Amino acid sequence: MGICEGRTVIITGAGGGLGRAYALAFAAEGANVVVNDIRKEAADAVVAEIAAAGGKAIANADDITRIDTAQQIVDAAVAAFGEVHVVVNNAGILRDRMFISLSEDDWDQVMRVHLKGHFCLANILGKHWRDQAKAGNRIAARIINTSSGAGLQGSVGQSNYSAAKGGIAALTLVQASELARYGVTANALAPAARTSMTESAMPDVVKA
């Protein structure tokens, strides 16, 4: 019996890279996994991997950057598995340029996917878990966010990404303080990995 038996996790950006690795790891520990990725075929492929290994998962391609569509992700999870216990905010994009070469869209897109994308699902689920706790239910919920070394120390050519990831680190501290009373923990990872996202942005550095 795995340590996540009977629990349901939503993982964003789970069609590849770290998100896929998280999805497979959670499923191996018995969790029901909602594989969210805007690339529906990629999400379907991860679900197929999980099913082939005897796990339970559904694919979802709804937008994490809007409250209404993020609600659809939660609704799909509840419809399939009855409850949500964990959200792993992993999805991200890069628009790397030197600061003075950034366009407004370069800035907005990275902030939208990273920072607002970390807000929407956690906000919806946080309210849900708070209401359950106030109703007298015992809650053991988890928010797992994705920061970065770039957000903690800065990174040349990534001012938009660094600012978003720094914001995520600060957001996590506040979530942890505010939600602990309801039985919700909030933590942030700062992973380093070779993925399609990093390879596309810094191919020479990543290959080395």
Of residues 22, 147, 148, 162, which has the active-site annotation? 148
> Which residue type is seen at 21?
A
Per DSSP bridges, beta strands 56-60 and 184-189 are unpaired
Buried b (16+ CB within 10 A) or exposed e, 145-164: bbbbebbeeebebbbbbbbb
Look up 161 and say whether it is catalytic: yes
DSSP string, 102-122: --HHHHHHHIIIIIIHHHHHH
Look up 165 and say whether it is catalytic: yes
Of residues 22, 147, 162, 165, which has the active-site annotation? 165
How far, in Å, CA of 77 to CA of 194, rounded?
Answer: 29
Per DSSP bridges, beta strands 184-189 and 8-12 are unpaired
Look up 101 and say whether it is catalytic: no
What's the gap between Cα 164 and its chain centre?
Answer: 14
Of residues 22, 147, 159, 161, which has the active-site annotation? 161
Active site residues: 148, 161, 165
